[in-house]
Structure 1
Amino acid sequence: MEWNIDPQQLWTDYVLPWSTQILLALVIFIVGRLLAGMITRATGKALEKAKLDPILINFLRTVLSTTLTLLVIVFALSQLGVDTTSLVALLGAAGLAVGLALKDSLSHFAAGVMLIVFRPFKLGDYVEVGGVSGSVDQITIFSTRLKTPDNKVVTVPNGNVFGNTMVNFSAESTRRVDMIVGISYGSDLLKAKSLLKEIVESHDKVLKDPETKIAVSELADSSVNFVVRPWAKAEDYWAVKWELTEQIKLRFDAEGIEIPFPQMDVHLHKESA
């Protein structure tokens, strides 16, 4: 069997058209990739000038770069005559399957995006999230890492962080120190109140404004309770609380003000024979 192929016709009908299409597809891909890189870099610089969070900048860069690359590939394949409609549908179906398989990870991912965008806390803040307290050490797309006061590292999935109540103890520059001090019913109430005011006002880390509140809050079963509420800088909170607690105990002991403690009185009655 002999094949009669006209070289001129082969060149005209097949080689030249396909060569042109392949060349154009390569040009589209190369130029598109260069343009995608330029757009991504320009966007990153603009976001940096806007002083956005570095984590958010990196995330947006990645999303933009991936999206532009996929568009370039689709345009290049369409130049080769590939049915891109079917390709897009296939990618969508694959994305749906992956999404269903990784729905928990995607929920953490979505929560991470919300945390990065809305910024309820930042690195170094002392927070309570997902039932855990600690200083924020790292925020990623999928999890938030906390460092506890005893130097433990706790990783909390972002879904647990964003889906629950978040308490940021460092959001404000000042904090109120809430203390309860009890004295016995036999102690001098006005003297105790005066001593508490003197102790608090003499502490160098207690702020003058807002004013400290000292008041009788409760006539309890075995004590008269004062609320003592001084204000301090956020970073001085624990120092003020601990130092005032020690100073109040020492001063009350020196001034004869009794701080009651739980006790039980047992009365014995002798029965006559």
Structure 2
Amino acid sequence: MLKVLQVLDSPSINFLLLIKNELSNFLGDLLIWTILAFILYIVVFYGTRSLFRRLNNEIGILTLNILQTPLPIIFILIFLKIAISNLESLEYLAIIQRLLTAAIILISTYLVSALFTQVVSYYLSQYAEKTEAEWDDVLVPIVKNTLPIIIFLIGSFLFLQTLGIDLTGLWVGFGGVTFVLGFALKDILSNFFSGLVLLIDTPFQFGDVVALKDGSTAVIKSVGIRLTTLYLIESHCDLFLPNAALESEKLINFSRPNPNYYYTITLPIRGDCDPNQAIKIIEEVVLSHPDTLGDLDKKLVAIENFYRVSDRLLDAQDNLLSKKEFGHKRLIAEQKLKIKLAEIKQAMKDLISKIQFLEKEGLDGGEIREIQGYYLDILIKVGFKVISEKPRGKKLLYLKESENMDEDTLISLLRSWYENWQEDPDIIEEDNEVLKVEFDRKIAFLKMRMDKFLQQIVNANNSFLETKLDDYGEELWKWMEDRFQIYAAWQHPKIWMNNVTIGRSGEGTIDLAVKFFIDNVKLEQCQRGNRIRSEVHGEIVRRLRQAYFYR
């Protein structure tokens, strides 16, 4: 009996009892954490997924798909780390805890990187498509490519530090390498920051036509980390220009202040002819071409005299009649669009005047509803309707494009105009996508801006918005006029007398400068302008020769 008591009082029995208690606590905590993890998994990956599907939230569903595997593993490791802390008598407890922490950091680094590259970058890309600024279209890909590297570098340092590796020497070496690389790559860094300056200052947009210092004409395609890519129109090749060189270069942007392109033709005529009659012939030829800009009423009259089927000099052109029919149809569509824009302009002016009158003494609820009614009429003219919803008892208003596109609305007329434009026998297949993208972006931006103004009207009882509401209305109309105006008065064709020379025989020559705009230089692989200039030039020469005016 004494021996048994001695055995029970021995340190080994106490150690076994301690191990038993710790193991019991460990298993109990592990069971509790496992149940909690299971409940959390069901709630997050089944309940939340069902909610996101009902809300048609693509970003939420994508996030859950990425989290589905690594997040449970992280939770299991955290729960295991908490539960194993009860095993205080475990010989290698500190090492195991450190390994678990390192594993959590490693998987978390992968998870953060995956979330950024697939979710955050997707959201940023969607945001960049909805904005009119160009800088975010370039910065988003740059951030997508560089930030994951930074995330993995930080995760690697934390991983090594958790394992107890001394990083002092590594940090010193890293700093030295950074200094050497910064000195060696100073030109690349200069180009990188120059690219950022170009994007922020926005001296051009993608697709703009610019003239370089050497006189060549190019289209801006993209701004990269180090290089800007330009498409040379004349030689049909890409030019890669360092951002720093482009920033310091003097550029002439033919696409500003509007995307239409300006051409000049110099024509010599006889000094003894009537210049006014020659100018009248030239103006008729320029106006009658469907792809030049000018007064729509004059163009509709002139086009009947330009493509004459009975003219034997033009019979060889296969697309003669179709080009004339296309031009007439498109001009009619443009005229309807111009009338609708004038109607909306007057309605916006009336709305702004109404707001200015009502806001003098402050806007009450009834006056705000009155302004909403006026704005609703404008939205109908544009082609939008207001949708009202009450999620969680809160009333929300947003815009939706009207389904009935047969209505006489701005959007339907704009769509008809673009569809007529796509029938142009001169444009190529790729131009249909160019026109479609241009149309879709315009409508998306229009919807975004008009919806923003709607929210400002709804919340006009805010003292700040109340005093700024008329300014927001004027800003909206100015944007619409800039984006949807077909042509301005100053874009009408102009013919000037440049020079008069007298020859030895007494015969004089008058040089006339013919200036005109074309509709869209980006079409036909950026050769549309050259074709139109050639056609206009040839027809002017033919008409002047028939009148014995051409020298």
TM range (shorter): 0.7 to 0.9
Q: 1:191 aligns with which of 277, 291, 308?
A: 277
Q: 1:176 aligns with which of 233, 257, 262?
A: 262
- Partner amino acid, structure 2, of 1:211: H
Counterpart-to-counterpart distance in 2, 1:162 and 1:72: 37
Partner of 1:250: 542
Secondary structure of the corresponding residue to residue 104 of structure 1: helix
- Partner amino acid, structure 1, of 2:250: T
Secondary structure of the corresponding residue to residue 229 of structure 2: strand
Contact 2:208 2:259 in 1 (8 A): no
Q: Percent identity?
A: 22
Secondary structure of the corresponding residue to residue 177 of structure 1: strand
Task: Please identify, of 237-246 and 105-114, the stretch whose mean Cα deviation from structure 2 is larger.
Answer: 105-114
Confirm whether residue 100 of structure 1 aligns to residue 198 of structure 2.
no
Contact 2:265 2:515 in 1 (8 A): yes
Partner of 1:153: 238
Q: Which runs of 5+ in 1 are unaligned?
A: 1-11, 260-273
Counterpart-to-counterpart distance in 2, 1:51 and 1:141: 18
Contact 1:129 1:161 in 2 (8 A): no
Counterpart-to-counterpart distance in 1, 2:510 and 2:145: 62
Contact 1:40 1:65 in 2 (8 A): yes
Contact 2:254 2:262 in 1 (8 A): no
Secondary structure of the corresponding residue to residue 205 of structure 2: coil
Deviations 1:52-105 (A, max 9, x none): 466532221222212222222232233234455654443233112112112222
Q: Greater strand percent: which structure?
A: 1
Secondary structure of the corresponding residue to residue 128 of structure 2: coil
TM-score (norm 1): 0.73
Contact 1:200 1:244 in 2 (8 A): yes
Task: Please identify, of 139-148 and 102-111, the stretch whose mean Cα deviation from structure 2 is larger.
Answer: 139-148
- Partner amino acid, structure 2, of 1:30: I
Counterpart-to-counterpart distance in 1, 2:544 and 2:262: 23
Contact 2:191 2:244 in 1 (8 A): yes
Task: Please identify, of 165-174 and 61-70, the stretch whose mean Cα deviation from structure 2 is larger.
Answer: 165-174
Counterpart-to-counterpart distance in 2, 1:238 and 1:74: 59
How do 1:49-68 and structure 2 match up within 5 A?
Answer: 49-52=126-129, 55-68=138-151
Partner of 1:28: 105
Deviations 1:146-172 (A, max 9, x none): 343343333323332233233444463
Cα gap change, 1:167/1:25 in structure 2, threshold over 3 Å: closer, same or farther? Answer: same
- The offset of 1:136, in angstroms, is 4.4
Confirm whether residue 45 of structure 1 aligns to residue 128 of structure 2.
no
Confirm whether residue 90 of structure 1 aligns to residue 173 of structure 2.
yes
Contact 1:200 1:230 in 2 (8 A): yes
TM-score (norm 2): 0.39
Secondary structure of the corresponding residue to residue 59 of structure 1: helix
Confirm whether residue 214 of structure 1 aligns to residue 495 of structure 2.
yes
- Partner amino acid, structure 2, of 1:176: Y
Q: 1:73 aligns with which of 156, 163, 167?
A: 156
Task: Please identify, of 233-242 and 134-143, the stretch whose mean Cα deviation from structure 2 is larger.
Answer: 134-143
Partner of 1:231: 517
Q: Greater helix percent: which structure?
A: 2
Confirm whether residue 143 of structure 1 aligns to residue 435 of structure 2.
no
Cα gap change, 1:24/1:156 in structure 2, threshold over 3 Å: closer, same or farther? Answer: same
- Partner amino acid, structure 2, of 1:230: F
Contact 2:219 2:230 in 1 (8 A): yes
- Partner amino acid, structure 2, of 1:143: L
Cα gap change, 1:196/1:31 in structure 2, threshold over 3 Å: closer, same or farther? Answer: closer
- Partner amino acid, structure 1, of 2:537: T
How do 1:119-130 and structure 2 match up within 5 A?
Answer: 120-122=204-206, 124-129=207-212
Deviations 1:120-140 (A, max 9, x none): 232x54434574533445553
Cα gap change, 1:68/1:155 in structure 2, threshold over 3 Å: closer, same or farther? Answer: same
Counterpart-to-counterpart distance in 2, 1:39 and 1:175: 41
Secondary structure of the corresponding residue to residue 290 of structure 2: coil
Deviations 1:35-59 (A, max 9, x none): 3322443311210220346653222
Counterpart-to-counterpart distance in 2, 1:121 and 1:54: 11
Cα gap change, 1:151/1:59 in structure 2, threshold over 3 Å: closer, same or farther? Answer: same
Counterpart-to-counterpart distance in 2, 1:15 and 1:129: 70
Partner of 2:524: none
Secondary structure of the corresponding residue to residue 155 of structure 1: strand
- Partner amino acid, structure 2, of 1:153: D
Counterpart-to-counterpart distance in 2, 1:203 and 1:39: 52
- Partner amino acid, structure 1, of 2:240: T
Secondary structure of the corresponding residue to residue 50 of structure 1: helix
Secondary structure of the corresponding residue to residue 75 of structure 1: helix
